[in-house]
Amino acid sequence: MNDLTAVILAAGKGTRMKSNLPKVLHKVGGKAMLAHVIAAAKTAGAKRTVVVTGFGGAEVEAAMKDDAVEFVRQTEQLGTGHAVLQTEALLRDSNGTILVLCGDTPLITGEVLRNLCAEHEKSGAKATVLTTVLADATGYGRIIRNDDGTIAKIVEQKDATAKEQKINEINSGIYCFSAPSLFAALHKVGNNNAQGEYYLPDVLQILRCEGAKIYATTTTNNEVVSGINSRAQLAVAEKILRRRKNEELMASGVTLMDPDTTFVDADVQIGRDTVIYPFTWIEGKTVIGEGCEIGPNCRLQNMTVGNNVTGQFLYAHDAKVNDGASLGQFVHLRPDTVIDEDVKIGNFVEVKNSNVGKGSKLPHLSYIGDCDMGAGVNMGCGTITVNYDGKKKFRTVIGDNVFVGCNSNLVAPVTLNDNVYVGAGSTITKDVPNGNLAIARARQTNLDKWKDKRE
């Protein structure tokens, strides 16, 4: 493959979204539309990706800063041709292929783009446009072909004659160009048309008139080229992306009990033989290992989950759960928590910014915050860490094999060393040495014949 650079047009406002957010930053399948297009370009083999920004440019650039792309500002939106021309300073020296894409087509796939690039190379054309046939082509640029079937030009809806408007083959807005031919032709594009814009598709006709070969290749999968202009189209794309992700997961060996109620973001990874029960959301950068049972009713965001973990009815975010742990029901794991191997967390438990050591048990009704807990610990029902004095947070340190009786309060900062026992109902405020029993509650008094005396 020739040296491939992707140029993604993302300067437009997206008026029909009725939004303060630039259109390309609206999320679909769990990430910005533009991020899907960038990913497809990279899958297709783009070595460089240049994003043309304009409306909300700073916001778009900030949101994509981790995506290893370059940005060019188009300060005035004078048309798609003008937008591509803004990349000339960056790409002037390129001798390879430029793949032009739009930032609002999140359904595009790396595979479709790879085929387009391959066709472009094979034909030896200076420009190749990806087309598709739509039942209703309204609004799109139409593909005008010569009698021999070769492409003559592209005519925009607003410039098309009544006869041209009847054509159903449309310009997807995705093209491959030879870089030097593209920039040479762009300088010749004018704006004498219905919208007063510099149209990128005019490059094709200019090249053809100069005797260069231009080419059009058609995809029958018109879903992949559809652009998002409204919230309704965004919702349609959302469904398609989720269906695709679910199919990909099932094909790779994940069981989804009910794909219709399983919502998995595009970048999530799930291992083989994991079973996902209904009403489950798996989001962001979550990675789940093999042989897990997740759900029903789980929401996992940016979680790292090992193998053979079970979890039901939980909300877990930005935390880590190691192999063999079992969670739920009604568990909340909050950021910066590490649940080690074979830990058991039962009903109504919240864990925040804590480490829970191997095989420890939090069976019922606990709040564990800012705590470093060793292995083999048993936290009795209702036991909590008291981590906050109203101004500052403090840590609780618990050694290995500690047994904390029910309904105890561990007032941080405090350390329970290894093998400590805590009597039920204690409020522990002082460190407890290794192997001690700590009881911190009022001694029980039984008053003899108290009822008789009262009466």
DSSP-derived 3-state class of residue 126:
coil
Which residue minimizes CB distance to ligand UD1? 141
Closest CA to 368 of 359, 357, 300: 357
- Distance from CA of residue 121 to its chain's centroid? 33
Burial class (CB in 10 A: 0-12, 13-18, 19+), 202: buried
Q: How far is the CB of 8 from ligand UD1 (least distance, A)?
A: 8
Q: How far is the CB of 190 from ligand UD1 (least distance, A)?
A: 13
Closest CA to 178 of 101, 96, 292: 96
Q: How far is the CB of 77 from ligand UD1 (least distance, A)?
A: 3
Residue number with CB closer to ligand UD1 (15 or 427): 15
Residue number with CB closer to ligand UD1 (10 or 116): 10
Residue number with CB closer to ligand UD1 (229 or 407): 229
> Cβ–Cβ contacts within 10 Å for residue 3, how many?
14
Residue number with CB closer to ligand UD1 (199 or 277): 199
Q: How far is the CB of 204 from ligand UD1 (least distance, A)?
A: 10
Instruction: Tell me whether strands 127-133 and 169-178 are parallel, antiparallel or unpaired.
Output: antiparallel
Catalytic-role residue among 26, 82, 187, 364:
364
Residue number with CB closer to ligand UD1 (233 or 261): 233
Residue number with CB closer to ligand UD1 (78 or 404): 78
Catalytic (active site) residue 364: yes
Q: How far is the CB of 407 from ligand UD1 (least distance, A)?
A: 60
Report CA dihedral (198, 204, 209, 210) to the nearest 10 degrees.
100
Q: How far is the CB of 36 from ligand UD1 (least distance, A)?
A: 13
Give the Å distances, CA to CA, from 388 to 56, 369, 391, 440.
Answer: 41, 9, 7, 20
212 - beta bridge partners?
none
Angle, helix 110-123 to helix 33-43, in steps of 10 degrees? 50
Please report which helix (H) or strand (E) contains residue 203, including its range: helix 202-209
Instruction: Give me the residues that bind ligand UD1 (CB under 6 A), please.
Output: 9-12, 52, 54, 74, 77-80, 82-83, 102-104, 140-141, 154, 156, 170-173, 199-201, 227
Give the Å distances, CA to CA, from 181 to 6, 93, 204, 297.
Answer: 16, 12, 10, 55
> Cβ–Cβ contacts within 10 Å for residue 222, how many?
16
Q: Give just the sign of the alpha carbon dihedral 51, 244, 222, 116.
A: positive
Which positions are catalytic?
Answer: 364
